[in-house]
């Protein structure tokens, strides 16, 4: 069965998320977002 994907067998042009590099700035941003989310999810109900 032929598909609409063309005849190329290689995936040289395809990049998936686990293969992409990330910087320490992105790691820091993710960690800060995690902390804010945890503070909102657990800190606010404890204070109320």
- Termini Cα distance of the chain: 61
* Helix (H) or strand (E) segment spanning residue 15: none
Tokens of 33: 């977002």
Residue 28 — pLDDT band, cuts 50, 70, 90? very high
Distance (Å, rounded) from C-alpha 30 to C-alpha 12? Answer: 29
**pLDDT of res. 29:** 97
For residues 27-44, average pLDDT: 95
For residues 28-41, average pLDDT: 96
**pLDDT of res. 11:** 59
Tokens of 24: 């320490």
CA torsion 16-20-25-26 (nearest 10°) is 10
For residues 10 and 39, which has the higher predicted lDDT (pLDDT)? 39
Is the pLDDT reported for residue 7 higher than 70? no
């Amino acid at each position: 069965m032929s598909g609409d994907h063309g005849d190329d067998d290689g995936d040289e042009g395809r990049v998936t998320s686990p293969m992409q590099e990330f910087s320490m700035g992105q790691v820091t941003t993710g960690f800060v977002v995690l902390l804010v989310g945890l503070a909102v999810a657990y800190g606010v109900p404890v204070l109320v």
